[in-house]
Chain A
């Protein structure tokens, strides 16, 4: 039996850029959506989260990924202008070919209907687009003719073949082939053209631009057929830049997504507006992409939220509200049904562990990075952030979207947080202070070193503070009163995390010198392990005890998770190598004695089964 199994992943959301169109796509059958974030390509089922597949082979940030119409290959592009074409039928994703196209970000990729040719456009220096045969890389024409970066490309799916492209020189270009040659350009838009797409039978194509216009053209010659117009948007299609456009699979309707925070559904035949789906009023609610697959209509908000839309009713059915920025804090709810995660930008999300249903905590707890998160059995969520406050949010029965927040200023920048299980007391390690929060009051003690991490014993009597001075400082706590330092433990690198075992018997300490040390509290803090636990190859970021207090899990900058067993402390631990591929592990927590949840810099949350 394997030492561990990867159970499932709650994937990160797509990475978005304000003012730039985002390209998401779907598998030919429409059961999965495909998008990019970080160095990865995510293939996420549209109806659940358990079957998520992640491709992390690009050496730099990925930008766009498209499945071939045959479904056997996927082509993904990155910031450096490289295309990787890989097998989709196996989880190992064997690389078929990789081609350097130009030196700049890839903005869009299109396959032709027989899955033989690929067109790639982007922000190259010497050229903005290229069309080639996918298996040999042989050029299949020339996509020059537009004088600025090309942002969108599509193949006509039927013969005679055509390629259309949209460019930042405000034109739509038509290419004839194969081999593909410039035919003409259309000057219908007065701003950047963001997206150009053919319908299912190639009889029409549509272009949408930053001027809010959506123009329909005849598929072969490019004669203008008409424009989509909404009276509410002064005759244009949208009141803001149109970032996304997708035809319904049968070609009868068009969905457009815009910076005016709406998605509109149009009838393609008479160009009438059928439905307007309005999102919020915040900048984060701008719609940057839309994809209409055989199974779902999906739009993406600037916040990265993935919205599943109901076409018939014109409503938002479900929203995936995870993170698309590195997750830096992770806390398990006391009932062990939910986890809370916080990202680099201060957003906090509550996840239902059983289903992966995600909900943003509103209002935002901190305006900057959150560094510590803890949940108490009284329903309070404690958080500390770089805005130098501790926030106690009461999450009531009416859910996380109306949390009552209560921020209090801290004397210096917080770096670590620990809270009692019942929420009676919380301790914060600050840069120059230790703060004890109890009953709404904060008492502050100055420290002669710089704090980095903190732990509170389960009986709320011992506080251990890890310092950037490579020492662990132990204090006694009575009520909210901190005693003088009673013990100092020396390490060879700055302390990164500390945790008391559930019964208070041990104190686990990790440091930036790769070490994990379980101290025995009763035996005057001698190490309880037979051998030195130095299996990580880089700074250890986080530590968590299993509920039975026998095992602990650590996550590290080296991208791996290690599960240590105190009863077999001299033996080789279980090492989950590359638990978060190409990405440090920032948080780890046990749900029960055999299941771990980890959160990484890649904004993914992963479940691991580690049998005893």
Chain B
């Protein structure tokens, strides 16, 4: 339960629906807290991203790296916090099913070590509010505190661990 008193703007949920349902209009969304309210900072379509080639072949590597670059610019090289959701497309091998194409939405709570303590506190204590209103019961959640934790490889490992053959 969020205790920071931060509200969630209605656009947060409606933009998220465009990413998660139907035509999947967006590839990723970045949220920020401004004036005690969680708002959509940017919502990026696959066209905006301009990635050519198949996402499943490189397991979204190119798209994810562009996303990380975007986060870094927006947080002034990781000195601010953000929430983000990313539509992660990847391939993994599963026992009896061979390789299969997967499509998972991940929620990232980005609180870099370089950010001010106050910001980290606000983002940490408001995380449950945004997660509850997105209805993230079924989507994967990650906490990120430095760039290495946000690397494509790290995330892909975690995802294949969860959905791959083990």
Q: Is B2 an interface residue (CB 8 A)?
A: yes
Residues on B with C-beta less than 8 A from A185 are 8, 10, 13
Residues on A with C-beta less than 8 A from B7 are 169-171, 187
Choose the segment among B24-32, B49-57, B96-104, B133-141 that binds chain A (4+ C-beta atoms closer than 8 Å): B133-141
Report the bound CA distance from A127 to B130 in whole Å. 12
Whether the Cβ atoms of B1 and A126 lie closer than 8 Å is no
Q: Which residue from chain B places its CB closest to the CB of A146 in the assembled complex?
A: B133
Residues on B with C-beta less than 8 A from A171 are 7
Q: Which residue from chain B places its CB closest to the CB of A128 in the assembled complex?
A: B132
In-complex Cβ contact of A184 among B2, B14, B128, B130 (8 A): B14
Whether the Cβ atoms of A145 and B13 lie closer than 8 Å is yes
Residues on B with C-beta less than 8 A from A126 are 137
Whether the Cβ atoms of B10 and A184 lie closer than 8 Å is yes
Known contacts A126-B137, A148-B132, A169-B8; 18 further A-B pairs (Cβ under 8 A): A127-B135, A128-B132, A144-B135, A145-B10, A145-B13, A147-B128, A147-B129, A147-B132, A148-B2, A169-B7, A169-B129, A171-B7, A181-B21, A183-B10, A183-B14, A184-B10, A185-B10, A187-B7
Q: Is A142 an interface residue (CB 8 A)?
A: yes
Whether the Cβ atoms of B133 and A145 lie closer than 8 Å is yes
Question: Chain A interface mostly helix, strand, loop or mixed?
Answer: loop
Question: Chain B interface mostly helix, strand, loop or mixed?
Answer: helix
In-complex Cβ contact of B133 among A147, A170, A183, A187 (8 A): A147
State which residues 82-140 of B face A: CB under 8 Å.
128-130, 132-135, 137
Q: Is B17 an interface residue (CB 8 A)?
A: yes
Whether the Cβ atoms of B13 and A182 lie closer than 8 Å is yes
B12 to chain A, nearest CB (A): 9
Residues on B with C-beta less than 8 A from A170 are 7
- Given the known interface contacts A127-B135, A181-B17, A182-B17, the answer about A147 and B130 at a Cβ–Cβ threshold of 8 Å is yes
Quick one: CB contact mask for B1-41 with A, threshold 8 Å, 1 for yes? Answer: 11000011010011001000100000000000000000000
Whether the Cβ atoms of B14 and A147 lie closer than 8 Å is no
Residues on B with C-beta less than 8 A from A181 are 17, 21
Quick one: CB contact mask for A112-130 with B, threshold 8 Å, 1 for yes? Answer: 0000000000000011100
User: Which 4 residue pairs of A and B lie closest in terms of their CB atoms, listed nearest first?
Assistant: A144-B135, A126-B137, A147-B129, A184-B10
Residues on A with C-beta less than 8 A from B135 are 127, 142, 144-145
Which of A144, A181, A184, A187 gathers the greatest number of chain B CB atoms within 10 Å? A144
B10 to chain A, nearest CB (A): 4
State which residues 96-151 of A face B: CB under 8 Å.
126-128, 142, 144-148
B: contact size bracket: 10 to 19
Whether the Cβ atoms of B132 and A146 lie closer than 8 Å is yes
Which of A126, A142, A181, A182 gathers the greatest number of chain B CB atoms within 10 Å? A182
Whether the Cβ atoms of B137 and A127 lie closer than 8 Å is yes
Report the bound CA distance from A181 to B10 in whole Å. 12
Residues on A with C-beta less than 8 A from B1 are 148
Residues on A with C-beta less than 8 A from B13 are 144-145, 182, 185
Which of A128, A142, A185 gathers the greatest number of chain B CB atoms within 10 Å? A185
Residues on A with C-beta less than 8 A from B134 are 144
A210 to chain B, nearest CB (A): 16
Q: What are 13 inter-chain pairs, A to B, with CB distance below 8 A?
A: A127-B135, A144-B134, A144-B135, A145-B133, A147-B8, A147-B128, A169-B8, A169-B129, A181-B17, A181-B21, A182-B13, A183-B10, A183-B14
Report the bound CA distance from A127 to B17 in whole Å. 16
Report the bound CA distance from A142 to B2 in whole Å. 21
Quick one: CB contact mask for A170-184 with B, threshold 8 Å, 1 for yes? Answer: 110000000001111
Residues on B with C-beta less than 8 A from A144 are 13, 132-135
A139 to chain B, nearest CB (A): 12
A120 to chain B, nearest CB (A): 15
Q: Which residue from chain B places its CB closest to the CB of A173 in the assembled complex?
A: B10
Residues on A with C-beta less than 8 A from B14 are 182-184
Report the bound CA distance from A360 to B91 in whole Å. 71
B39 to chain A, nearest CB (A): 13
Residues on A with C-beta less than 8 A from B2 are 147-148
Residues on A with C-beta less than 8 A from B17 are 181-182
Which of A144, A147, A171, A185 gathers the greatest number of chain B CB atoms within 10 Å? A147
Q: Which residue from chain B places its CB closest to the CB of A183 in the assembled complex?
A: B14
Q: Which residue from chain B places its CB closest to the CB of A185 in the assembled complex?
A: B10
Q: Which residue from chain B places its CB closest to the CB of A174 in the assembled complex?
A: B10
Residues on A with C-beta less than 8 A from B8 are 147, 169, 185
Q: Which residue from chain B places its CB closest to the CB of A186 in the assembled complex?
A: B10
Report the bound CA distance from A171 to B129 in whole Å. 13
Q: Which residue from chain B places its CB closest to the CB of A125 in the assembled complex?
A: B137
Report the bound CA distance from A128 to B132 in whole Å. 9
State which residues 169-221 of A face B: CB under 8 Å.
169-171, 181-185, 187
Report the bound CA distance from A184 to B128 in whole Å. 19
A68 to chain B, nearest CB (A): 27
Report the bound CA distance from A105 to B28 in whole Å. 35
Residues on B with C-beta less than 8 A from A182 are 10, 13-14, 17
B26 to chain A, nearest CB (A): 16
Report the bound CA distance from A171 to B12 in whole Å. 14
Residues on A with C-beta less than 8 A from B10 are 145, 182-185
Q: Which residue from chain A places its CB closest to the CB of B8 in the assembled complex?
A: A147
Report the bound CA distance from A142 to B22 in whole Å. 14
B130 to chain A, nearest CB (A): 7
Q: Which residue from chain B places its CB closest to the CB of A149 in the assembled complex?
A: B1
Residues on A with C-beta less than 8 A from B129 are 147-148, 169
Residues on B with C-beta less than 8 A from A146 are 132-133
Residues on B with C-beta less than 8 A from A187 are 7
Q: Which residue from chain A places its CB closest to the CB of B1 in the assembled complex?
A: A148
Report the bound CA distance from A128 to B128 in whole Å. 13
Q: Which residue from chain B places its CB closest to the CB of A170 in the assembled complex?
A: B7
B128 to chain A, nearest CB (A): 7
A175 to chain B, nearest CB (A): 10
Q: Which residue from chain A places its CB closest to the CB of B131 in the assembled complex?
A: A147
Residues on A with C-beta less than 8 A from B21 are 181
Residues on B with C-beta less than 8 A from A145 are 10, 13, 133, 135
A75 to chain B, nearest CB (A): 22
Report the bound CA distance from A145 to B17 in whole Å. 10
Residues on B with C-beta less than 8 A from A127 are 135, 137
Report the bound CA distance from A4 to B58 in whole Å. 77
